[in-house]
Amino acid sequence: MHQPEFGDRQAPEVGELTPPTRTLMGPGPSDVHPRVLRAMSTPLVGHLDPSFIEIMDETQELLRYTFRTDNQWTIPVSGTGSASMEAAIGNLVEPGDTMLVPTNGYFGGRMAEMARRAGGDVVEVDAPWGEPLDPVAVQAAFDEHQPDVFGFVHAETSTGVRQPDVPELTSIAHEHDAYVIADCVTSLGGVPLKVDEWDIDAAYSGPQKCLSCPPGASPLTLNDRAMDKVLSREEPARSWYLDLSLLEGYWGEERAYHHTAPITNVYALREALRLVAEKGIESRWARHRETAGALKAGVEAMELEMNADDEYWLPSLNAVRVPEGVDDGAVISDLLEGYDLEIASGLGALEGEIFRIGCMGHSARPENVSLLVSALGQTLAEYGADVAVGAGVEAAAERL
Ligand SMILES: Cc1ncc(COP(=O)(O)O)c(C=O)c1O
């Protein structure tokens, strides 16, 4: 057999970049707003350029507005949502701390894994996949385990469930002197979230869901109480890159080099947040509720079933039950191939049981909902499902 000599590898012939134009109605990323794309083609400045320092300040101020917080410690973390998630958990959980995590979805499991890697002990509060946490169960878990940190998922992307009763959960945690970390990846900018009013100590998110922005710089906010714990750790956080006591040097008063910020992603996030501020956060929440409400009305009129109860329906992620006998994977690939429309399948306990249909950010538009309802209905009908396509399309149109 011919053994290539060192250095004789040929230059690959790779054509120009021409990805297909998709409509992104899955669990994220969602469609990016054209203004955000334009901001991303703006020339770079250095990450310590005085003009970039101003952009950093503006981005932080816009993030505070969007999170509904006055927290000084509000930054975009370099990396995807998992980076802001690990920054929150890896800094707040110290070796020997106990963290209480939920079992009602995929991302509670990721919280547990990150807490263990931070040297913490993990205890769980149970609820079935597809249901929110019950404050009574959270209270019982606190009484039994006395955790130091409590994490919950405000918008569970794997099940389409919005956690209600957040102030009740945070007050249980604070009565036990614990810190609260909220996963807001699929809620920030899409469904009501009030970090200060709800007394959340640390909240993290991602830009690629309800903010109409590509992944890369991920929102994080911590109040002074949480930051005091981080700054008085006995042992440094295990990740150097995500150590908030070091990142303070860059995002705090000093503005000194820690790592090279993803400048283009910060531009993108700033523009995405400017869009939020221009229309106002409440009107953005309302737009998500109304547009996703039309989507929900459409699928229900087609006689499909939503997986989550109306009471904790999550407008940004609609979990729709796969009709009996239908292969969800085949439907998903037909939608992609035939309509350039992306939706996703269920994860974990809901694999094969649900379609996950996002309605987030720039994807939450009437034309996308019309396309989704008619394309999904027709495709399901082709696979023999008993769906009333016309009634679905009409119901969605009435609401749009
Ligand atoms: C609820 C939730 N948490 C965390 C994450 C992780 O974010 P990322 O995939 O951007 O790292 C996601 C991503 O889908 C999510 O939906």
Instruction: Identify the pLDDT of residue 3.
Output: 63
What are the phi and psi torsion angles at 237 (to 5°)?
-60, 150
Q: How far is CA 369 from the centre of its chain?
A: 20
CA of 181 to the centre of ligand 1 (A): 14
- Two domains, one topology: 34-278 and 280-399: no
Shortest-distance Cα residue to atom 16 of ligand 1: 157
Provide the residue type at 227 as one letter. Answer: M
85 lines ligand 1 (CB under 6 A): yes
Tokens representing residue 240 in the block: 């150097």
Instruction: Identify the pLDDT of residue 2.
Output: 59
122 lines ligand 1 (CB under 6 A): no
167 burial (CB, 10 Å; 0-12 / 13-18 / 19+) is middle
189 lines ligand 1 (CB under 6 A): no
387 burial (CB, 10 Å; 0-12 / 13-18 / 19+) is buried
Shortest-distance Cα residue to atom 10 of ligand 1: 81
Going by CATH, does the domain composed of 34-278 fall within 3.40.640.10? yes
Instruction: Identify the pLDDT of residue 7.
Output: 76
pLDDT category at 4 given cuts 50, 70, 90 is: low
107 lines ligand 1 (CB under 6 A): yes
Q: For residue range 9-24, what is the model confidence (pLDDT) as tens digits? A: 899 999 999 999 999 9
What are the phi and psi torsion angles at 317 (to 5°)?
-140, 110
Instruction: Identify the pLDDT of residue 54.
Output: 98
Q: Where are the beta strands (DSSP E) in 231-359?
A: 317-321, 341-342, 344-345, 354-358
Tokens representing residue 34 in the block: 């054209």
Q: If you average pLDDT over residues 330-334, what whole number do you get? A: 98
Share of the chain above pLDDT 70, in %: 99
Report the alpha-carbon distance of residue 221 to residue 122 in Å, rounded. 23
- Domain regions of the chain by residue span: 34-278, 280-399
pLDDT category at 45 given cuts 50, 70, 90 is: very high
105 lines ligand 1 (CB under 6 A): no
CA of 82 to the centre of ligand 1 (A): 6
- The pLDDT of residue 120 is above 90: yes
**Residue of 30, 77, 82 to mutate, ligand 1, most atoms within 8 A of C-beta:** 82
CA of 69 to the centre of ligand 1 (A): 22
- The pLDDT of residue 171 is above 60: yes
Instruction: Identify the pLDDT of residue 1.
Output: 54
Q: What is the pLDDT of the chain when averaged over all its residues?
A: 97
CA of 103 to the centre of ligand 1 (A): 16
pLDDT category at 8 given cuts 50, 70, 90 is: confident
CA of 390 to the centre of ligand 1 (A): 35
Q: Hey, which CATH number is domain 280-399, 3.90.1150.10, 2.40.50.140, 3.90.1310.10, 3.30.470.20? A: 3.90.1150.10
147 lines ligand 1 (CB under 6 A): no
**Cα three-residue angle 9-10-11, rounded to 5 degrees:** 120
Report the nearest atom of ligand 1 relative to the CA of 155.
Answer: 1
206 lines ligand 1 (CB under 6 A): yes
